[in-house]
Amino acid sequence: MLGSVLSPETEDLPIRLIHKSLDDFLQDRSRCGDEWFVDVSLHRKAIAEQCRVASKSFLKTWSPKSDVAIGDVPAYISKYALFGVFWYSAFDQSDVELFTSFFCPYFLPWLDIIVTDGGVLHFEIMDTFCRQHGLTRMPIEVDIRDSDTIHRVLQSSTEFYCHLHHSSEESPLTGKVTLECMKLRNGPLEPTGDNLNIEGVILVDADTQTDYGFKIANTTSVPLYVSMFLFDVSDLCIQANYQPESAEGVDTPLPPGESLTFGYGTKDRDRPWSFGVTEGQDVDVGFLKLFFSTEYLDWSAIVQESPFEGHRQSVAPSVRKIPSLCHTMCVPVVQKWVVGAPRGSRRRFQ
């Protein structure tokens, strides 16, 4: 009998009504009676609660602290785990705590999710350093019905913070590679003033006008391959600032006692850097992540576009076993807006 009013489930579509009139009939108590009456808001809320429970059960199989390979982490966050998000609009205001608490045990180490009236999601940044310097929220809103974007954000944040917090174990290179940041004077671009990397933190003006340069120095007794990436906390983008081109000597390692410069000089990498914040932001935070090794390593798979632009990194990093002589350095770059300065893109290169 139900086959006359319901279509069968297919690979792409769930069971659905063939005739809209049945939908209207079942929602009209005076026509169908108490036995068949469907209170839509009540049933949507019941479905939402079951989705939340099912999602929570699914996510019990993984914790951000689990010892799993970086490339395997995204597999633990399925679209099925987001049904609770999709059905949020069915909850009353009094039930919002159920929704927000669903995310806290699993995503709080990186992002917290705040729901505002109108079904708009905000992503709160939970990184302690960022919050201490005034960056508490990503400057982007997502409609709660946009499950594809929400899924991309959660997967991208997993990869972003796993790469960001990846660190070498005790390394003989620790303290023997240095990173300096300097303002550049106009004309022939040359460093001026003091090193802005003070006790491992760089403070810059986000005015889109001031030029900056960087210098990496190898004070060890061995040649080192250097790769440098910029992690943008505000949009989960990871940019490659510099990577050796190949292991065949096209781009040789940095010799002992020598340095690489960025922002000034004669090579492509020597275009100056400038910083800006988007409308509504007064501060932004990025992290310069450097990898040093005595062997050539391809870190290119770390790069990812912002998930808010419809992209997500899906290729696992090509580096699986880290050599013993490998070192990582992570230096935060705090960008503070200069009152009266134009707002600009967070992209770093001119």
Mean pLDDT (whole number) for 303-329: 65
Question: Helix, strand, or coil here: 114?
Answer: strand
* Top-ranked range on mean pLDDT: pick from 79-93, 128-142, 164-178: 128-142
Residue 316 pLDDT level (bands cut at 50, 70, 90): very low
Q: Name which CATH class applies to 177-337.
A: mainly beta
Query: Is 338:207 a contact under the CB 8 Å cutoff?
Result: yes
* Top-ranked range on mean pLDDT: pick from 55-64, 180-189, 240-249: 180-189
| Confidence check: pLDDT of 111 > 70 | no
C-alpha dihedral sign at 280, 149, 65, 294: negative
Domain boundaries, the chain: 2-38, 41-165, 177-337
**Please, how many CA atoms are within 13 Å of residue 201, restricted to the half-sphere of its CB?**
9
Q: Which residues are CB-neighbours of 309 under 8 A, at least 6 positions away?
A: 235
Scanning the chain, the segments in alpha helix (DSSP H) are 20-26, 29-36, 40-59, 83-86, 96-107, 128-132, 147-165
Q: Which residues are CB-neighbours of 300 under 8 A, at least 6 positions away?
A: 240, 243, 318
Q: H/E/C letters for each residue in 136-153?
A: CEEEEEEECCCHHHHHHH
What pLDDT digit, counting tens, does each position of 235-267 carry? Answer: 999 999 888 876 555 567 899 999 999 888 766
State how far the Cα of 132 lies from the Cα of 152, in Å rounded to an integer.
27
pLDDT, greater one: 108 or 211: 211
Residue 199 pLDDT level (bands cut at 50, 70, 90): very high
pLDDT, greater one: 106 or 168: 168
| Confidence check: pLDDT of 324 > 60 | no
Extract the tokens encoding 61: 């199989």
What pLDDT digit, counting tens, does each position of 268-293 carry? Answer: 566 888 999 988 889 999 999 999 88
Extract the tokens encoding 28: 């009209």
Query: Is 86:151 a contact under the CB 8 Å cutoff?
Result: no
Q: Kindly report which listed range (117-121, 310-314, 322-326, 332-336) carries the lowest average pLDDT score.
A: 310-314
Mean pLDDT (whole number) for 306-333: 67
Q: What is the CA radius of gyration of the chain?
A: 25
Residue 197 pLDDT: 97
Length of the chain: 350
